[in-house]
Every structure is written in C-alpha cells, then in structure tokens.
Structure 1
C-alpha cells in the first residue's frame, strides 16, 4: 500500500513539474553523511533554490518521501520532513525514525535534475552488551590474575581497551579477539593479565563511532597481604644465607690473601734492614781496623833470641850475647863501664846499647778494642 502511494505521488509530481515553467531549480546544499545508533533518529537536510517544484528523498534508489512546492507531501511511516524557507531558498529536513541496522545505505536528495543530485550515506551501528565475567577478585599481593571482558552483539566490532584507576593500560598487557555473531553482529573478548600490588579499580571500555562515550564495565580488585608462615621465614632465611655466606667467604679469602702479602712484604723489609745493618757494621769495623793498623809503631828492637838469653840468665850462666858485637867487629868484651850489673845473681852483664840488626823483623802490635 505504501508503494502505491509513493508511486502515485511521484507521477503527480512529475506531471506538475513538466507542465510548470519553473522547471530548472538547483540544489544549493545537499545532505551530509550520518552515523547513528540503532533505535535512534537520523536527520538529513537538503537546501534548494527558488522556483523549485518537486523535491524527492530516495533511499538506495527507492523514493521514500515526495514534497511539492505547495506543501503537499507523500511519505512513508518512518520517513518525515520539516520545511524551512529563508529568503529565496528552501530547506527540507528529512527524519528517519527508529533506524535499524538494515537502514544503512545511500540517501539521495533530488529535484528531478539528473545533473544536480546530492548524495549522503547513513551508517547504523549497534552497541551490544559489555560485561566482566567474574566480579569477585580478592587476591594476594604480587599475585598475577586474568580478567576477562566480553562484548556481545556489536556492529561493527568494538574497540576494547582497559584502564586501571582511570589510567589507560598498555595494549601489551591484554589480548583481544573478535568473531562474527548472528544477524550481522559481532562479538569480542579481551583478557587482561594484571599483577596488582594494592587494591585497584579495573575498567573495561568498548567504543564505536556512534557512541559519544565508550561503554564501560568496572570491577574492584582487592589485594591482601598473606601472613608469613614458618616455612616462609625458613625460606627467607635460606635465601639470605645463600646470598650472604658466599660474600663472607669471598671477603675472608681476600683478607687472608692480603695478610699473607703484608707478612711477606714485612719479612722482606726486615731482611733488607738486617742486611743493611750488617753491611753498615762491617764497614764500621773495617774503618776501625784500618785506623788501628795505621796508628801502631814498629818495634825494630825485638829479637826472638832475647827469649833464649833471658832463659840462660835465669840459670846463672852469663852468655855472651851476639848483640854486644857489631857488624864486622871482633868478639872483644866491652869495658866495665858498659857492663850491666845483675843484682839478682851478683854478676855484671855488659850493657846492651840499642843495636839494630841488618835485616830486622817488623813486628806490629795491634790492640783490639
């Protein structure tokens, strides 16, 4: 029935245009592309110059609304229009109510001039459901968990991302997958791996162009610190010992090596000092000996025969000492005045003047201090 009214209106409009001398108007501004959510309204404007007679709105080539200059209109149930005149121009505002996903397509404004038609495109998107599968997240500190966000019945497939305490998370922390659903819709799933240190609020967000703000799903993650058991303390103690003992052993080895090196250096130093001391003492002794040697006097009157002479004298024999004779002299006794009287034996011995032999021995007396 709607088709009958549409074609009837179109035929009447064409007959009116062909018989009217005002044929030849132009479109000043055509409709603009629109992206809307399913279930909402879509609006398009078309502005024409004066002397227009018929304006037709077509969807994917099919007439949906016809408007005649005198205000008569032929429309379908979901297509309506409002007209506004400004000076010599007229603007028709087309409204499509309760748009569906199948309403996506081309919208055309025509004034029956094949060279002056204006086009626009309508894109209808569907925001489906968004939820986090598990709502109870109570975990131990430093425990890694996985949070799964599920988006069902979207068109097109949404862009899913995550936030922690209103701060966007890196996309390296989550993995997102998409799959086609029924009736031209899409499903998506995103898995977040998180290792919280404190309690946080985690938000999953899904966005499409038709949404002015992303759709969200939020969950609270509660973190608690577990009580440390005896095993934990033993493990901690073992770790500490495993780390500290090698360090202490290494330091001890280094200390022993340093002590050995120091002792060795000290011994070498003491040995060198002792050598220097002995060398100095030897040099001092040599200098003293040299001084004593050079300070001694030669005894040219010493004769080993004197010992024998003294021995004979002790026996009461008066020997004739060859010392009383000079070289190349006769063995004549000396005058009595030159004879020395020996009080012990009551004998007189000739005095011995200092006489030096031809080849005397040099005897040096050395006194050591």
Structure 2
C-alpha cells in the first residue's frame, strides 16, 4: 500500500530529481516497482524492490525514494511507483538554460553623443523561454522595455528569446545589462553593453567614453513571434 505518493517535479538539466514513494503494510510477496512512462505510452521498468536495472542513471534511497541522476530532456516523463496493486505516478519536467546569449548594438560603434542606438539582447536554445530584464547601472528599466519575443520550435519546446531596446547615447558611464533568467529558478546569464562613443568637441578633438541612457528615451520592440505547438508537429 502506498502511504505517501510521488509528486510532480521540475529539474534543471544537469541536476538530480527525486520522487518519494513511502510504502506501508507491505507483505513479503509484494514487489515495489518504479517505472518510467513516456508521453507516447512506452513503459520502462526502472527497479523492483531495491534492485535497479540502471545504477548509473537511477538510485533508490530510504523508503523507495527514486533519484533520477543528471537529468536531461529525454528524462521528461511520468514516473510510476507500484506497490502491490497500488499505483501512483508523478511527472518530471526538465528545464534547460540558454546555451548562448548575445547583446549587440546597431549601428555599430563608435557613436556620437545624442545618437539613437538599438540594442538587441538574444538568448538561444532555452527550455522554457527565458525572462529578459534590462538594467542601466543598478536601475531596473524593464518596465520601460518590457516586451520580448520568443520563438518556440520543435516538439521538445526549445526557444530563442529576443528583446530590443532603443537608447540615446550620452556621456554617462553606466553600462547597460541584459539579464536572462530561467523561470522558477535562480539561474541566469548576464551580458553587458559598453561600447566606446565618439564625441566631437569645439576644437575638433575626439575622446572615447561610455554610452548609456538619457532620461526616459527608451522603447522596446518585439521583433519575432512564431510558436510551433505540439499539434503542429504531429
């Protein structure tokens, strides 16, 4: 008899996941199984009692708690505990941080004071789409540039996320930061934008400084939205 069934879990790729299955009133003739049930209905036996079929991928801890080691997208499935005639299952969702991230300005530097520059922040191949936030020095300016676009592709749900921001170049030395965060986790990546700018002075000499924001001259543009749903790839 299953006293405490497993509960749904979310894990970041490369970490471990655990499913509890506490069993009571177990007879000597009763087996306790763990099974993996994929979205297409395929069932793979992981263990019976304390015996594992793959000791490098799985472990049994305590009262039949299942540990799934070093999870990756292929581990996303239902995990079922069976004790005698009792069955209980829970789902494992796997998240993946962006594999790469870029932050580029257009037009290319050097810039003159007062010029408008578009800055594009892109995070590639995450699952699910990342959240993008913008900072000017220590100030969070996301409310001024709150729009971002995600392109979700393929049955595994990976995505590229892009956000674009328009600034006015000044002689303020604070940098622009783009922070991409994986939802529901403390995992993030940061890119800095600090190109040199080119000022013209009265004596025609030039000096290089840093670019930043001028007042509220900020806008956000959503540049790409295309979503492939699960039904589209069947």
Q: Which residue of 1 aligns with 2:129?
A: 157
Which residue of structure 2 aligns with residue 103 of structure 1?
A: 75
| Contact kept in structure 1, 2:75 and 2:92, CA below 8 Å | yes
Offset of residue 111 of structure 1: 0.4
CA deviation digits over 1:15-36, x for unaligned, max 9?
xxxxxxxxxxx22212222211
Deviation track 1:83-105 (CA, whole Å, cap 9, x = no partner) reads 42xxxxxx122122232213222
Shift of 1:225: 4.6
State how far apart, in whole Å, the 2-side matches of 1:175 and 1:80 are.
41
In the TM superposition, what whole-angstrom CA distance separates every residue of 1:177-236 from its partner, at most 9, and x where no partner exists?
A: 222345632112111111243122111111223642322112224456531379xxxxxx
Q: Counterpart in 1 of 2:92?
A: 122
- After TM superposition, the score normalised by the length of structure 2 is 0.70
Paired residues, what number? 194
Partner of 1:45: 20
TM-score normalised by structure 1 residue count: 0.47
* Contact 2:147/2:163 (8 A) holds in 1: yes
1:212 corresponding residue in structure 2:
186
What residue in structure 1 maps to residue 103 of structure 2?
132
State the superposition RMSD in angstroms: 2.8
- Mark the CA change 1:75 to 1:209 in structure 2 (over 3 Å): closer, same or farther: farther
Give the conservation status (yes or no) of the 8 Å contact 1:200–1:221. no
Is the 8 Å Cα contact of residues 12 and 95 (structure 2) preserved in structure 1?
yes
Indicate yes or no: 2:33 matched with 1:56: yes
The aligned residue for residue 140 of structure 2 is 168
Match of 2:58 in 1: 80
Which residue number corresponds to residue 186 of structure 1?
159
1:145 corresponding residue in structure 2: 117
Alignment check: 8 A CA contact 1:110 1:118 kept: yes
Helix, strand or coil at the partner of 2:129: coil
- For residues 45 and 109 of structure 2, what CA distance do their matches in structure 1 show? 54
How do 1:316-331 residues align onto structure 2 when only pairs under 5 Å count? none
Higher relative contact order, chain-length normalized (CA < 8 Å, sep 6+): 2
The structure richer in helix per residue is: 1
**Which of 47, 50, 53 is matched with 1:66 structurally?**
47
Of residues 29, 34, 37 in structure 1, which corresponds to 2:4? 29
CA deviations over 1:282-329 (Å, ceiling 9, x no partner): xxxxxxxxxxxxxxxxxxxxxxxxxxxxxxxxxxxxxxxxxxxxxxxx
Segments ≥4 residues shifted beyond 4 Å: 134-138, 221-225
Q: String of CA shifts for 1:243-268, please: whole Å, max 9, x gaps.
A: xxxxxxxxxxxxxxxxxxxxxxxxxx
Structure 1 match to 2:173: 199
Aligned-pair CA distance for 1:165:
0.9
Q: Which has the higher strand share?
A: 2
